[in-house]
Structure 1
């Protein structure tokens, strides 16, 4: 028997959504799926555009930001299965831009001092955010360097300096963007072409793309990106080019933040994490042992876990991240190949080795293989950590993991 949501839990989520809409504030979509591929819940509420008053539908298309990383990681692990790369191979042969990296020693707004790295970056490091790469909105040194380099985007094929020696720490980064470039060079396919052939089409993810311009059929369903002002509490719509890298060209589809998808499509991807790489139709996109590898803690021997510890530096770009990236303080955490792992059962909540991650536009996903359930909350509003989103995700988890909520 497959796990189901109880009638009480379903009604509580219904009420959670009924209480969600606010005047001049965008809505949300919540969905859940079980190991057998059965949708346990899918419902939308509120506005997808606060100016036009268009409403969210369950098939609304979202820019899902860092939800992209899981797709890229799945593709990378397929290449590992095929013997085209090894997780511990140095990336320099395929990515010469990262062959001889420099590590930042110190920065000011005017100057960046570096030294040569002592060890090479590997594919495992790109997938686990242990390469030393970073993001400017959570690292002042990268922000300084980006300004000096004249970077109009967060990522380009340039000689990107590192914020620590490869393999010695954890920092959220553009590593999955570089992984996508490596995939494109190895396969001769763009990220979208590869994902469509080997991930999206096999799983029936018909509304997912890394190349929105090539899908005019999806564009009428596109959610509007909103921005939220912490001081006033007001939201407004904002222009967004739907090109997170800010650059163009064959190799510039963003493996870290370029995916557009729907809740239903993304739940289909999460289902295979619950079911050892296979969907309910018997389609394997990953081997069982590969999924197990993805769920192994990559930080077990790394002492400095950065924001996966219980403290983190403040955000450097509040327009993207409202608060520091401190994740579940006080609870044992690890990192798999592209996602957060909780290492122990969380009291009254998810089971040990549950995977989760988020998107900066206030999206979140959870895949709990032991409980045989995965669920998502989709929004389209920045900066991350908007209080209404955090409150709703917390309440959603409380409902799903309450006694008697998951039944067989």
Structure 2
């Protein structure tokens, strides 16, 4: 056995307390190690319940990009201008609080690598609404640029989205700073244009069909809507079963728009843990899961003050652990969380992947459920 029955029982009891207390409405947890898979289904959900995975969309979008790189349809260090002419000849704000016309020319074009590593020069501005002129301008464009939860009914279709985004100056020079989220949204538009189809169709063709991910997409079809659970935030319904994810969005958001199941995401996770399994090459997975940030970018606050430090970095769409600081933080561990209540990480050194699906919005760094889940997963390892 690679997992301790005593540890798994303890984890189950801990997760039940979170559901019984009302901290989350129900959850599905999956632990997979060395061919052994353990699943717990607790509360008012089923194993095949559909969850809004929000930012756990980002690793999938990055994997699609690497599939296209392997096919020779994209190159990591080519400018994106040909496919995204809206981003050619960028201007850059002299400071975050500067007027919109107080800019300098970009030092160089934006590349695919910049989008994958979130260093294109734009990202979520985590300050009260209207704090900065560019923040107010971006909010008025209704683009969903990372300052709040996903709202699939809001943003316009991709070409109009890019046109509007292209009217904004960059916040930093390309490659200079790590800034969260927006790179994945721009990347989604790039991938759709590179494949000549929608982002969802490109994901289906290049990833989902081969992996058997039959329940993952940007909306829930009518014949599956009964399996979608309501989403909650602060104890209130954030999105009802018949809400925003019940119909196709105009903008398929590569940064946070997918719905999925625990088993579908496990298929994606084990593909990466198995070095690509014919979907991607081993070098592509290694590149995706390598920390690409500079020491200065590690010290930045592009998501949360002290988020990276010396212990964590960023690859392509995934966080990467660089130094152990927790029971569950093995160097080389990678993955990401979804702010609407989901979490996934792979640990190659432990031959481990685990997925948590619930639908109570929470911030992973401070969520007792997330912290207890990962502590229990690692406490259950049995060598």
Match for residue 117 of structure 1? 106
Any stretches of 5+ residues in structure 2 without a counterpart?
Answer: 146-160
The Cα offsets for residues 53-83 of structure 1, whole Å up to 9 and x where unpaired, read as xx12221101110111111111100011011
State the structure with bigger RCO (CA 8 A, min sep 6), 1 or 2: 2
Match for residue 287 of structure 1? 281
Q: What is the rounded CA distance, in whole Å, between the counterparts of 2:34 and 2:101 in structure 1?
A: 49
Instruction: Identify the match of residue 363 of structure 1 among 342, 353, 363.
Output: 342
| Bigger fraction of residues in helix | 2
Matched, 1:223 2:220: no
Matched, 1:407 2:344: no
Match for residue 213 of structure 2? 205
The Cα offsets for residues 72-123 of structure 1, whole Å up to 9 and x where unpaired, read as 1111000110111111111111111111222122455985633221111110
Q: How does 1:167-186 map to 2 (within 5 A)?
A: 167-186=175-194
Match for residue 275 of structure 1? 274
Q: What is the rounded CA distance, in whole Å, between the counterparts of 1:347 and 1:380 in structure 2?
A: 25
Count of aligned positions: 361
Q: What is the rounded CA distance, in whole Å, between the counterparts of 2:130 and 2:169 in structure 1?
A: 10
Matched, 1:340 2:319: yes
The Cα offsets for residues 289-311 of structure 1, whole Å up to 9 and x where unpaired, read as 11111122211xx2432xx43x7
Q: How does 1:87-102 map to 2 (within 5 A)?
A: 87-102=76-91
Match for residue 232 of structure 1? none
Using structure 1 for the length normalisation, give the TM-score.
0.80
Q: How does 1:60-71 map to 2 (within 5 A)?
A: 60-71=49-60
Q: What is the rounded CA distance, in whole Å, between the counterparts of 1:13 and 1:66 in structure 2?
A: 25
CA shift in 2, pair 1:73/1:57, >3 Å: same
CA shift in 2, pair 1:10/1:153, >3 Å: same
CA shift in 2, pair 1:23/1:346, >3 Å: closer
CA shift in 2, pair 1:33/1:331, >3 Å: same
Q: What is the rounded CA distance, in whole Å, between the counterparts of 1:217 and 1:207 in structure 2?
A: 11
CA shift in 2, pair 1:223/1:112, >3 Å: farther
Q: What is the rounded CA distance, in whole Å, between the counterparts of 2:109 and 2:129 in structure 1?
A: 24
Contact 1:61 1:223 in 2 (8 A): yes
Match for residue 187 of structure 1? 195
The Cα offsets for residues 292-336 of structure 1, whole Å up to 9 and x where unpaired, read as 11122211xx2432xx43x738xxxxxxxxxx7246565422211
What is the CA-CA distance between 1:188 and the residue it aligns to?
1.2
Match for residue 44 of structure 1? 41
Match of 1:17, SS state, is helix
CA shift in 2, pair 1:96/1:42, >3 Å: same
The Cα offsets for residues 359-397 of structure 1, whole Å up to 9 and x where unpaired, read as 12132211111111111222223353595xx21222222
Any stretches of 5+ residues in structure 1 without a counterpart?
Answer: 47-54, 229-234, 279-283, 314-323
Q: What is the rounded CA distance, in whole Å, between the counterparts of 1:109 and 1:242 in structure 2?
A: 35
Match for residue 151 of structure 2? none
Matched, 1:354 2:333: yes
What is the CA-CA distance between 1:182 and the residue it aligns to?
1.1
Match for residue 296 of structure 2? 304
Q: What is the rounded CA distance, in whole Å, between the counterparts of 2:131 and 2:79 in structure 1?
A: 23
CA shift in 2, pair 1:113/1:224, >3 Å: farther
CA shift in 2, pair 1:96/1:334, >3 Å: same
Contact 1:211 1:253 in 2 (8 A): no
Contact 1:294 1:337 in 2 (8 A): yes
The Cα offsets for residues 169-225 of structure 1, whole Å up to 9 and x where unpaired, read as 21112111111111111111211111112211111111111243xx22221111212
Matched, 1:394 2:379: no
Contact 1:192 1:211 in 2 (8 A): no
CA shift in 2, pair 1:142/1:363, >3 Å: farther
RMSD across aligned positions (CA): 2.8
Match of 2:350, SS state, is coil
Match for residue 353 of structure 2? 374
Match of 2:256, SS state, is coil
Match of 2:6, SS state, is helix
